[in-house]
Amino acid sequence: MLVIGICGASGSGKTTLSLELKSSLAKENCSATIITQDTYYYDFPEKSFEERAQLNYDQPAIFNHDALYEDIKTLLSGKSIERKNYDFSEYRAIPPVDIVTPTEVLIIEGIHVFYDIRLMELMFLKLYISVEPDICLLRRINRDIKERKRSIDSITRQYLSTVKPMYDRYIRNYVNCADVIVSHGGKNARIVEVLTGYLRCVMTSKED
């Protein structure tokens, strides 16, 4: 199993690139699975909705890095894992639990997937998506309204109080950890084609 890490700002196109790469690999008869770091948010059932909405969901400490690391190690050992789902409109982990089985390629995407050095050491290839912050903000607004049932006021508050400060403090610096810097967001057909060909060659050489 080859582990690919995809990092970048919120709204940069991490999920899009992951899906494009998975689809491209499938055309080459290569199986791939996507693990989204967002499903590893800590859950806070004891807090009210209002209290959960005020938490900083862009800081590294909001994620259960140990659980993510252990799950990736389990998949690398050839065993399946149980993965929770996450409801962004309620800020809660929710059922059902998905069963994830090992595949030839494992794609991990998230704003802090390069935070845990242990996890980075498991990655065969690390990609950082570099997109202008104003473009990321526009994409985030569009996504949060359509998919996460957020208001403009809540998006603005979260962006100014947590998203931008955490980007400036942590996320923008993850570019220094990357093997490849991807421009133009997730729909970069050329980079998807190049990555697919490279990964196919690597897996073929391993089979030989």
Q: What would the pLDDT profile of 21-42 be if each residue is shown by its tens digit?
A: 999 999 999 999 999 999 999 9
Q: Select the CATH number that applies to the domain covering 2-207 from these four: 3.30.460.90, 3.40.50.970, 3.50.50.60, 3.40.50.300.
A: 3.40.50.300
Which of 180, 138, 174 is CA-nearest to residue 159?
A: 138
pLDDT one-digit tens code per residue, 138-162: 777 878 887 777 888 887 887 888 8
DSSP assignment string, 32-100:
EEEEEGGGGBPP-TTS-HHHHHTS-TTSGGGB-HHHHHHHHHHHHTT--EEEEEEETTTTEEEEEEEEE
pTM of the model: 0.90
pLDDT digits (tens, 9 = 90+) for 94-127: 877 889 999 999 999 999 999 999 999 999 999 9
Average per-residue pLDDT in the chain? 90
